């Protein structure tokens, strides 16, 4: 696709409304609502459908209102897809560091949070499954970046700083590809996406890293090896229901491997497993405490876009065809009937849309998205190879979600991108020492004097 078709420079500025301002615990927040085109390539004559995108501004109360208005903007692009912006009760970690010099804009990416929502209740209003799938084509990184550029103009901001975590880093690469003139600098943590190749390449790599992380975890907590096996045996012969009434199957229990992607969260897996069983008159059963905690891990009720759109973030002009499910065939030790049982990572499988009540109405839509072969390109390798925007990225050596080797390949393809590789953190490093990570990356981008 020619670059000019993606940049959509003719689209008018976004509508902008400020609805509320609050001050508490050392910070001020401002609520911004923007009106943007659903399809940024649609005619700009006012006839195109629009949606709402919400963003919350955070600024340190140490700055007067007048001084804060002079601060440059930092746009935070959170993980996902389908994750709404963080809701902070106070500034801390990287946000406390950033608020010294920036106004932080926390985006509810289109389809999430207070932006025009997408879920099992709203999506059917679009019509048939095919019409719903066509609607969702406008909820990828290219559209998120186009929203951001309209928002930047509406705020009358010069080129701004962006900070992308995980999927937010993928969006940052799209931004660098199609609207680099809007960027002063880009910071990326755990989010260097492959620029070429297929989703199969991603899952082949990440399955291996998840297996290694299982081995590491059970080395720390050998007693949890028995706990996992006991839970799996129990689920194979005893029906257990989650609080939403849906069955807890072995494969859903394996989703507890999401904890393995964290620094401190990994130890929370041990606390989850130690709560697993209680003795009842009918024999051992899974405890309500365990089932309640696990519901938050296995249900996509609050972020259905994650399941619907996850593989599409690797769809570069080709179908993903349920890549993780197919790659499971190459990694049979992750099967739910394998012994010993391994816990999984962020993979999304077709059975999610059979076992999760929040996703069941969306199964046909998910199949259509998995079969879509003509996804638009998310990156422009030629533009990235000639990049002039300062970029710094933290690459985590043992990240089970964004593979280190694939990340370094991408870094080498982006002119001037500086890498800080570290084994000190896992995928959620900014939750553990965000202030240090932010300061280091910002310093790297500015070391050249810009």
**Taking Cα atoms as reference points, which of 117, 114, 91 lies closest to residue 103?**
91
- What pLDDT does residue 218 have? 98
Q: What is the pLDDT of residue 394?
A: 98
Q: Exposed, middle or buried: residue 148 (CB in 10 Å: 0-12, 13-18, 19+)?
A: buried
State in Å, rounded, how far the first CA of the chain is from the last one: 32
Q: What's the CA gap between 366 and 360, in Å, rounded?
A: 10
* Cα separations in angstroms, 202 against 147, 314, 405: 27, 8, 10
- Cα-Cα-Cα-Cα dihedral sign, residues 128, 133, 139, 143: negative
Q: Is the peptide bond before 48 cis (omega within 30 degrees of 0)?
A: no
SS3 445: helix
Complete DSSP assignment for 166-219: THHHHHHHHHHHH-GGGEEEEEEES----SSS-HHHHHHHHHHHHHHHHHHHHH
Cα dihedral 343, 274, 304, 194, rounded to 10, equals -40
DSSP character at residue 131: H
Tokens of 142: 């290219």
The catalytic position among 166, 246, 312, 323 is 166
Q: Which two tokens stand for residue 35?
A: 């009106």
Q: Mind listing the domains of the chain with CATH numbers?
A: 3-195+379-446 (3.40.50.1820), 199-371 (no CATH)
Catalytic (active site) residue 22 = no
Task: Please report where in the chains the tokens 């998840």 appear, as a residue.
Answer: 210
Which pLDDT score is estimated for 2? 38
Pick from 279, 286, 292: which is nearest to 237 by CA? 286
CA distance 395 to 393: 6
- Tokens in use for 16? 């902008």
Measured distance CA(399)–CA(329) in Å, rounded = 22
Nearest to 313 by CA among 166, 425, 426, 428: 166
Residue 52's alpha-carbon distances to 14, 34, 35, 85, in angstroms, are 10, 6, 5, 15
By CB neighbour count within 10 A (0-12 exposed, 13-18 middle, 19+ buried), where does 341 fall?
A: buried
Q: What radius of gyration do the chain's Cα atoms show?
A: 22
Torsion on CA atoms 214, 220, 221, 222, rounded to nearest 10: 80
| pTM for this model (two decimals) | 0.94
Phi, psi of 50 (to 5 degrees): -120, 160
Residue 374 appears among annotated catalytic residues:
yes
CA separation for the pair 236, 222 (Å, rounded): 22
- Tens digit of pLDDT per residue, the chain (450 long)? 334 344 444 445 679 999 999 999 999 999 999 999 999 998 877 788 999 999 999 999 999 999 999 999 999 999 999 989 999 999 999 999 999 999 999 999 999 999 999 999 999 999 999 999 999 999 999 999 999 999 999 999 999 999 999 999 999 999 999 999 999 999 999 999 999 999 999 999 999 999 999 999 999 999 999 999 999 999 999 999 999 999 999 999 999 999 999 887 899 999 999 999 999 999 999 999 999 999 999 999 999 999 999 999 998 778 999 999 999 999 999 999 999 999 998 899 999 999 999 999 999 999 999 999 999 999 999 999 999 999 999 999 999 999 999 999 999 999 999 999 999 999 999 999 999 999 999 999 998 534
Name residues whose C-beta falls within 8 Å of residue 332's C-beta, 6 or more positions apart in sequence: 338
Pairwise CA distance, residues 362 & 305, whole Å:
10
Q: Let me know: does 342 contact 336? Beta carbons within 8 Å.
A: no
Catalytic pick among 115, 246, 427, 428: 427
């Amino acid at each position: 696709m020619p670059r000019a078709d993606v940049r959509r420079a003719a689209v008018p500025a976004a509508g902008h409304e400020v609805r509320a301002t609050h001050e508490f615990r050392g910070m001020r927040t401002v609520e911004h609502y923007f009106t943007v085109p659903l399809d940024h390539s649609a005619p700009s004559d006012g006839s195109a459908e629009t949606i709402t995108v919400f963003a919350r501004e955070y600024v340190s109360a140490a700055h007067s209102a007048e001084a804060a208005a002079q601060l440059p903007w930092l746009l935070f692009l959170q993980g996902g897809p389908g994750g709404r912006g963080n809701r902070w009760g106070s500034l801390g970690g990287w946000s406390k560091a950033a608020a010294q010099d920036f106004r932080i804009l926390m985006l509810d990416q289109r389809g999430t949070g207070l932006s025009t929502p997408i879920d099992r209740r709203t999506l059917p209003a679009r019509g048939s499954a095919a019409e719903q799938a066509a609607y969702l084509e406008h909820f990828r990184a290219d559209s998120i970046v186009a929203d951001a550029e309209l928002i930047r103009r509406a705020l009358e901001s010069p080129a701004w700083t962006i900070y992308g975590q995980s999927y937010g880093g993928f969006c940052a690469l799209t931004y660098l590809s199609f609207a680099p003139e809007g960027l002063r600098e880009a910071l990326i943590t755990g989010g260097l996406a492959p620029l070429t190749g297929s989703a199969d390449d991603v899952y082949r790599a990440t399955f291996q890293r998840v297996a290694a992380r299982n081995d590491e975890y059970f080395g720390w907590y050998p007693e949890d090896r028995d706990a996992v096996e006991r839970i799996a045996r129990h689920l194979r012969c005893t029906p257990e229901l989650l609080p939403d009434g849906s069955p807890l199957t072995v494969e859903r229990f394996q989703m507890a491997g999401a904890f393995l992607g964290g620094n401190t969260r990994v130890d929370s897996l041990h606390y989850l497993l130690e709560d697993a069983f209680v003795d009842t008159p009918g024999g051992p059963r899974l405890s309500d405490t365990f089932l309640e905690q696990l519901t938050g891990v296995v249900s996509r009720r609050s972020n259905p876009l994650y399941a619907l759109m996850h593989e599409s973030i690797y769809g570069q002009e080709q179908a993903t065809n349920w890549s993780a499910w197919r790659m499971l065939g190459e990694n049979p030790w992750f099967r739910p009937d394998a012994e010993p049982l391994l816990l999984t990572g962020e993979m999304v499988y077709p059975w999610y849309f059979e076992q999760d009540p929040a996703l069941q109405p969306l199964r046909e839509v998910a199949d259509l998205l998995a079969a879509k072969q003509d996804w638009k390109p998310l990156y422009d390798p030629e533009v990235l190879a000639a990049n002039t925007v300062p970029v710094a990225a933290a690459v985590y050596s043992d990240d089970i979600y964004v593979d280190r080797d694939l990340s370094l390949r991408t870094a080498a393809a982006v002119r001037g991108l500086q890498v800080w590789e570290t084994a000190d953190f896992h995928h959620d490093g900014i939750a553990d020492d965000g202030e240090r990570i932010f300061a280091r990356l910002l310093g790297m981008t500015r070391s050249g004097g810009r």
